[in-house]
Amino acid sequence: MAAIQHLVSTWEIAKIGYLVSTWLFPVLIAITLHEAAHGYVAWQLGDPTAKLQGRVTFNPLKHIDPVGTLLLPGLLILIRAPFLFGFAKPVPINFMKLRNPRRDMVWVAMAGPGINFVLALVSAFLVHLAVLAPSFVESWVVQNLVNSILINLVLAVFNLIPLPPLDGGRVAVGLLPHPWSSLLARTERYGLLVLIGLIFIVPLIAGGIGIEFNLFVWLVGVPVETLFNLIAVVAGLR
């Protein structure tokens, strides 16, 4: 009996290890290029802050937030949560150093989600090349690429929510007429707290009284599913 329990335990650990390994590389690549893209575009548009602090780099260690990049997504994966959520260290941007702060803020903000959309599409096409991998790792490579499509779409769509300090909020501030843009910009210090409350706390309270309220699924899950299916068709996977 002890031997059987040990075997089962080892098998469970192996399954968890495999699951984590199929998400680790896609997550690291997605957040690294997302943050580096912000810094690179800001640098090209006149603000060298990120470049001077070593954040315009493909080194993931420069962008990792231990809690937001590793602990939180890892826990959500292990408990098989219906959604994946995380964050990296924000790239420092001094918008006043940009050549045209109001206009260039939009380009800097769009750079992160933009590169994630590109990575999702590239990952989908690379699935066709997975057959070139050795047979014993082919399924692992395919799973990494599928997860890459998913995590990049989640990052892109989530960050485009028009609420500062998310990228979508910065885009909205740059595009809205002055009175509205100033009002939205003033919400930045509270924006993340509001978002966490709506995504995590309100659903728990609503569920406790028998009401289904999942803002993350509505704002992110549904668009991601639609885009995932569209990319699969475009890449010839369906």
Predicted TM-score (pTM) of the model is 0.87
DSSP-derived letter for residue 217 is I
* pLDDT for res 159: 93
Please confirm, yes or no, whether 35 is among the known catalytic residues.
Answer: yes
Which residue type is seen at 128? H
Question: The dihedral of CA 142, 82, 192, 104: what is its sign?
Answer: positive
Q: Residue 165: which of 175, 177, 173 has the closest Cα?
A: 173
Cis peptide before 82 (omega within 30 of 0): no
* pLDDT for res 201: 79
* pLDDT for res 81: 65
Q: Residue 118: which of 36, 185, 174, 195 has the closest Cα?
A: 36
Report the C-alpha gap between 82 and 17 in whole angstroms.
Answer: 19
What pLDDT tens digit does each residue of the chain (238 aa) get? 555 554 446 667 777 777 778 888 898 899 999 999 999 999 999 999 999 999 999 898 888 888 777 777 777 767 666 666 667 888 999 989 999 999 999 999 999 999 999 999 999 999 999 888 888 788 999 999 999 999 999 999 999 999 888 999 999 999 998 888 888 888 888 887 888 787 777 777 877 788 787 878 888 889 999 999 999 999 998 8
DSSP calls for 27-83: HHHHHHHHHHHHHHHHHHTT--HHHHTT-SSS-GGGT--IIIIIIHHHHHHHTT-SS
Active-site hit among 12, 35, 188, 225: 35
Report the C-alpha gap between 26 and 119 in whole angstroms.
Answer: 10
Please compute Rg for the chain using Cα positions: 20
Domain tally for the chain? 1
Which residue type is seen at 219? L
* pLDDT for res 1: 53
* pLDDT for res 11: 60
* pLDDT for res 110: 97
* pLDDT for res 76: 72
* pLDDT for res 2: 54
Which range marks the domain in which residue 143 is found? 2-234
Question: Is 154 in contact with 120 (CB distance < 8 Å)?
Answer: no
* pLDDT for res 98: 94
